[in-house]
Structure 1
Amino acid sequence: MQQEALESLSEQIAQHICEQIIRGDLVEGERIQELRLAKALSVSRGSVREALLLLERTHLIHIYPRRGAIVAEMSAQQVRALFEVGSLLLGSMVQRISESWRSHEAEALRQLLSHLIEEVKQGHTEKFYDAIFQYLALQHDMVANLYMMKFYKELLPSIRRSYFLTLNTSKIELQESLALFKLVIDAILNRKSQQATLFMEDFCRHLRNLVLESLTRMKQIELAWARRSRR
């Protein structure tokens, strides 16, 4: 693994593990084997350990004495807690964006909407949500709150992990998400900050419900397989 100019080796390793957790290659409750990972990536065990400390801030793993790093559980209660906090944070962010955008930033929002419409046409659920949440992650100047953006950056991997579960939801549900986020963009462009906040909360609530429905189906399948294996 080669080190990039703007990203340390430990950050690259953390991102690699992060993607494995988000995509389900590492499942909840699984222990991350430091030595095995170090060999697979041709890096030192110390670099892996440092990466795990970075990753713990994203709430994707827990590090326990003598047990090491364990992939965090994703339960319905945790999903509700995640979106309760995420909704408040994102509502504040879009409020600030609606109050501070300039002409070139308004054009970027219109381009984002066009991009989202195309992703929905193609049925690209992950790319659709990625485009929204990554766009928001880049709005440091308009949000103008270092602590808010830092917290959002730490929360984003857990948000991505949650909506990765929705990849098999229907296109109609994706179109509903688009319609809700279009209201957010329209409110921002009309500088209606309070409306932008309320619409963002509606969008987050809709996504939370999709995640919870997907999580329930996944748990039911796991239970069915466990029962079958015991026969």
Structure 2
Amino acid sequence: MRFQAPESLSEQIAQHLGRRIVVRDLQPGERIQELKVAGDLGVSRGSVREALLILQRRHLVEIFPRRGAVVSALTPETVNALYDIYIDLLCMLARKVLERWSGHQLGGVLGQVKELQEMISALNSGAPDSEEKVIEAGFGVMKRAYSLINNPFLEETLENFRPAISRSYYVTLEHARSEITETAAFFRRLGEAATSGDTNRLENVIQDFGEHQRAQVLAILREENA
């Protein structure tokens, strides 16, 4: 793979390596060798080093003296810390949307939700890369919501959680195909709650699904470490 002259080369490299971590092509504890990555991608070692610092800030790698960068472990502690704050931030996003817009004005977001449900139905047969497509479509709904509230601070904060959430969510989809159906049901309930204009109902839908996801990831980690 070779990158062209970019706006941010280190960010492109970080996204490339981050995707490999999310889909578990790079396993927890695996060392990422700067020189090898630079050679494989046709970039400078300095750009790779900068990319690894970006991934460290996104909690996908840890950097140790004399050892270098290592893919970070997904532990019960990190999962709980992640979902504690992520669920609250999603509820804040949903609350801000309904504060500014009524149900009938949410056409763009609800249209995105409907497209995601249709995508899940098509992918439920086990198509290749379906997990990644579902994850990306879910973040597409969030992007629509960002445009409605115009809060760059909340958007940036949530986007910074995206790699870590994608990683944990991929774990659940990889272990249980039924989670795709569960995700479709979540977005159906989300759309219904948004249309009703009931903030409490909308937050409860988000909290229930977030806690479901947390429990699924923790159960998988227990099983893998048994």
Q: 2:175 aligns with which of 168, 171, 180?
A: 168
Give 2:165's aligned residue.
Answer: 159
Q: Structure 2 unaligned runs (5+)? A: 125-129
Q: How does 1:27-42 map to 2 (within 5 A)?
A: 27-42=27-42
Q: Does 1:219 find its partner at 2:219?
A: no
How many residue pairs get aligned? The number is 218
Shift of 1:125: 4.2
Q: Match of 1:142, as an amino acid?
A: L
Q: How does 1:135-146 map to 2 (within 5 A)?
A: 135-146=141-152
Q: 1:148 aligns with which of 142, 145, 154?
A: 154
TM-aligned CA distance change 1:37 to 1:105, over 3 Å: same
Q: How does 1:34-183 map to 2 (within 5 A)?
A: 34-101=34-101, 105-120=106-121, 122-123=123-124, 124-166=130-172, 167-171=174-178, 173-183=179-189
Q: Does 1:17 find its partner at 2:17?
A: yes
Distance across 2 between alignment mates of 1:150 and 1:4: 25
TM-aligned CA distance change 1:178 to 1:4, over 3 Å: farther
Residue by residue over 1:80-112, the C-alpha shift from the partner in whole angstroms, topping out at 9 and shown as x without a partner, is 221111101111111112233476742442342
Question: Partner of 2:51: helix, strand, or coil?
Answer: helix
Shift of 1:119: 0.9
Give 2:127's aligned residue.
Answer: none
Give 2:216's aligned residue.
Answer: 210
- Measured on the aligned residues, the alpha-carbon RMSD in Å equals 2.3
Residue by residue over 1:108-167, the C-alpha shift from the partner in whole angstroms, topping out at 9 and shown as x without a partner, is 423422432441453244433331133214533223322221111111100010111122
Contact 2:108/2:144 (<8 A) preserved: no
Range with greater deviation from structure 2 (161-170 or 121-130): 121-130
Distance across 2 between alignment mates of 1:42 and 1:118: 35
Q: Structure 1 unaligned runs (5+)? A: 221-231
Give 2:192's aligned residue.
Answer: 186
Question: Partner of 1:74: helix, strand, or coil?
Answer: coil
Q: Match of 1:212, as an amino acid?
A: L
Shift of 1:176: 3.1
Percent identical pairs in the alignment equals 35
TM-aligned CA distance change 1:134 to 1:213, over 3 Å: farther
Distance across 1 between alignment mates of 2:135 and 2:40: 31
Shift of 1:175: 2.6
Q: Match of 1:36, as an amino acid?
A: K
Distance across 2 between alignment mates of 1:59 and 1:99: 32
Q: Match of 1:169, as an amino acid?
A: A
Residue by residue over 1:156-213, the C-alpha shift from the partner in whole angstroms, topping out at 9 and shown as x without a partner, is 1000101111223142x43333223322222222222232122111111112222222
Question: Partner of 2:32: helix, strand, or coil?
Answer: coil
Contact 1:137/1:152 (<8 A) preserved: no
TM-aligned CA distance change 1:142 to 1:55, over 3 Å: same
Distance across 1 between alignment mates of 2:177 and 2:146: 33
Distance across 1 between alignment mates of 2:61 and 2:180: 29
